[in-house]
Amino acid sequence: MSKNILVLCTGNSCRSQIAHGYLKEFSPKGTTIYSAGIETHGVNPKAIATMQKDGVDISENTSNNVDEFANVDFDYIITVCDNAKERCPYFPSNAVLFHKNFPDPAKATGNEEEVNAEFDRVRDMVKLYCKEFVSAYLK
């Protein structure tokens, strides 16, 4: 049975894009993954680069506004930051809501090596969460 999953973040540029990539990678065939933001900031090039380092290509992903998916019947909605959880619009569906607040790697400071390390650290946190989510709810 196919499932529709929405990953929701503030700007749909980093955390939700990373989660989108891993959920797509780990989910059974027939699962459709969507990611969106309360706003759209474009896909962060560092998010694309950190995923490529782990063999997952999200370079074709787009940054979407949550309103674009108002007519999709979601099975699961995962908010990946507190701001999105607080501002998550009501979806008239039976979607099960999940929330995990991940740090925003786009706010990382320091030199390029330190910023890249923060992207890698958040990527690994999101990867583990997605792996556990798929194992618990989609197998």
What is the identity of the amino acid at 94?
A: N
User: Annotated catalytic residue: which of 32, 41, 87, 88?
Assistant: 88
Q: What distance lies between CA 3 and its chain's CA centroid?
A: 16
Annotated catalytic, 130? no
DSSP E strands: which ranges in the chain? 4-9, 32-37, 76-79, 96-99
Q: Which of 6, 38, 81, 122 is catalytic?
A: 81
**Candidates 9, 38, 43, 122; catalytic one:** 9
| Closest-CA residue to 95 (of 66, 123, 124, 122) | 66
Respond yes or no: is residue 14 known to be catalytic.
no
State the residue for tokens 């990953």.
7
In terms of Cβ atoms closer than 10 Å to its own Cβ (0-12, 13-18, 19+), residue 122 is buried
Would you name the residues annotated as active-site residues? Answer: 9, 81, 88
